[in-house]
A and B are shown apart, each in its own frame.
Chain A
């Protein structure tokens, strides 16, 4: 158990007043070594690893809203590495390993809970694809296996094994699958980064990127201009819009992704359960709420509105999987804007502008990559643009060379 939690439990007074997690806001300086645009999980994780491993602390994280208030707050907090491509599995496995130790590293509880993730196959073709995913995963050190309906019934007794007349043939059982409190991940990284001297500026919107002679020199913000030696963009759904301000296009399409939670009930569902044919996943949070999520909207939109047809289809799939959910009440629903690539892999690394680094294309797979993404982006910036081996397959130029990383293990991809 993290020591901070124990101290908090035994403390007589309210500890936050004496020891705030984040420093009070300061003035924006005119110059930083590194400016990170976007104060979500990825942005603050990059700042944290820059300070921790590379001693670079003259760093500003600029966030137009509040810390972790964008897609970091809107994702459904699934952590897994059972992807299909070797490039993807290697990358996400490293992320799972970092997550496992984050609470201790931060001395801040991220409520990491490794309950396993189960994906259901309803057709022979999916069973074959799952066999391949299990083998690729095992090869790179993940714990993934194919299990039969008897094992599934034992693992999740409340699951309907014939949802929507699509009998469950097998399951991809990923023991490393986990969940964590997404706000705590962002706060843990932000706290660790600011303790080491990084400045977090919330309510500070970047309105333009300053480029001269093909090299980034700084950014314009709503609080004045800032010079920067290097700039990283980590702005999820708005990645393509921001990159245009830096002067280059990104091969992204923005789709809304909708999700919802029910009122909390007593814990009954340990694993995270997902159906490949119904495009729906269901999990119970540590607070007892049932989270229901699925694929992206059927067409692009820069808007996080809700739509009734998508909600209906999500709920009907969830009720098919767990019929008693029809008795429960919804608590909240929301949407986020996902920046989808055509190959369901991220875009990380160098950009056409010198010293301007991209962390984009995170579609529906951004939260689980937060730690490894921060670590590799920090290494990239600290070495002045030497791309770490782990993220080389995800560089922007892969599209021009027709070298996509076809990640059909992504949630939004049809299996």
Chain B
């Protein structure tokens, strides 16, 4: 069985976790072109190597970040998301939008 270490719950079977996509820098949602937003939504880093990913421990719904090699499947490090994200992102609709 492959083991992943959850920063909150410790080492667990990988079947308890859900993959949530790569960690990507979000462009400013108020001042962004459609093409830039599309790129942010649909494109991921596609090199072979270590990638930064969102994962969730499903029984506890706890989201965290993992560094994993996308060819050897080696999990290098897992840590809470607040190591990278210090500020809250608020989505506010523009005037006139519903």
Which positions in A face B, CB cutoff 8 Å? 240-241, 244, 249-254, 298-303, 305, 307-309, 342, 399-402
Also in contact, A251 and B71, with CB within 8 A (given A244-B47, A302-B48, A307-B2):
no
Contact partner of B19 (CB less than 8 A), chosen from A240, A298, A305, A399, is A298
How many A-B contacts are there with CB distance less than 8 Å? 51
**Separation of A300 and B55 alpha carbons in the complex (Å):** 12
Contact with A along B63-98 (1 / 0, CB 8 A): 000000011110000000000000000000000000
Closest to B21 in A: A253
On chain A, the residues within 8 Å of B19 by CB distance are 298-300
What residues of B have a CB within 8 angstroms of the CB of A249 in the complex? 43, 46
Contact: A253 with B71, CB < 8 Å? no
Quick one: which of A244, A301, A400 contacts B46, CB cutoff 8 A? A244
Q: B72 to chain A: which residues have CB within 8 Å?
A: 303
**B35 at interface (Cβ–Cβ under 8 A)?**
yes
User: How far is it, in angstroms, between the C-alpha of A144 and the C-alpha of B42 when the chains are bound?
Assistant: 33
Q: Given A241-B48, A244-B47, A309-B14: A302 and B70 within 8 A (CB)?
A: yes
Q: Which residue of B lies closest to A343 (CB)?
A: B42
Distance from B60 Cβ to chain A, minimum over Cβ atoms (Å)? 18
Asked if A301 meets B71 with Cβ closer than 8 Å, knowing A249-B43, A253-B44, A307-B2, the reply is yes
B28 contacts chain A at the CB level, 8 A cutoff? no
- CB-CB under 8 A from B1, the residues of chain A are 308-309
With both beta carbons as reference points, the residue of chain A lying nearest to B39 in the complex is identified as: A400
Among residues of A, the one whose C-beta sits closest to the C-beta of B2 is: A307
B65 to chain A, nearest CB (A): 14
A-B contact pairs, 7 of them (CB 8 A): A299-B53, A300-B19, A301-B70, A303-B72, A399-B42, A400-B34, A401-B38
Contact B46 A241 (CB under 8 A): yes
Q: Is B15 an interface residue (CB 8 A)?
A: yes
Given contacts A308-B1, A399-B38, contact A240 B73 (CB under 8 A): no
For residue A399, which residues in chain B have a CB less than 8 angstroms away from its CB? Answer: 38, 42-43
Bound CA span A254–B51, Å:
13
Nearest Cβ on chain B to A303's Cβ, whole angstroms: 5
Expressed in whole angstroms, the minimum distance between the Cβ of A220 and any Cβ of chain B is 19
A-facing mask of B13-48, CB < 8 A → 1, else 0?
A: 011001100000000000000110011001110111
| A305 in contact with B38 (CB, 8 Å) | no
Query: How far, in whole Å, are A249 and B14 apart by their CA atoms in the complex?
Result: 30
CA distance A401 to B2 in the complex (A): 40
CB-based contact B71/A302 at 8 Å: yes
Q: Which of A302, A303, A342, A400 contacts B35 (CB 8 A)?
A: A400
Which residue of chain B is the closest to A341 with respect to CB atoms?
B42
A254 / chain B contacts, CB cutoff of 8 Å = 46, 70
Contact B70 A251 (CB under 8 A): no
Q: Which of B15, B18, B38, B73 contacts A402 (CB 8 A)?
A: B38
Contacts of A244 in B (CB 8 A): 46-47
Separation in Å of the B29 CB from the closest CB of chain A? 15
Instruction: Compute how far the CA of A249 lies from the CA of B15 in the bound complex, rounded to whole angstroms.
Output: 31
Complex contact A400–B2 (CB within 8 A): no
Cα(A76)–Cα(B53), bound, Å: 30
Report the separation of the CA atoms of residues A251 and B21 in the bound assembly, to the nearest whole angstrom.
13
Residues on A with beta carbons closer than 8 Å to the beta carbon of B48: 241, 302
The listed residue (B34, B46, B73) touching A252 by CB distance below 8 A is B46
Output the least CB separation between B33 and chain A (Å). 10
**Min C-beta distance of B50 to chain A, whole Å:** 12
Q: If A400-B34, A400-B35, A400-B38 touch, does A250 touch B46 (CB 8 Å cutoff)?
A: yes
Instruction: Specify which chain B residues have a CB less than 8 angstroms from the CB of A253 in the assembled complex.
Output: 44
B34 partner residues in chain A, CB cutoff 8 A: 400-402
Q: Which residue of A lies closest to B68 (CB)?
A: A299
Q: Nearest A residue to B14 by beta-carbon distance?
A: A309
Q: Contact between B35 and A251 (Cβ–Cβ < 8 Å)?
A: no
- Inter-chain CA distance A305–B2, complex, in Å, is 13
For A342, list chain B residues within 8 Å (CB): 42
CB pair B42–A240 under 8 Å, yes or no, is no
Q: A250-B46, A399-B42, A399-B43 are in contact. List 12 more A-B contacts (CB 8 A).
A: A241-B47, A250-B43, A251-B42, A298-B19, A299-B19, A300-B19, A300-B70, A301-B71, A301-B73, A302-B70, A309-B14, A400-B34
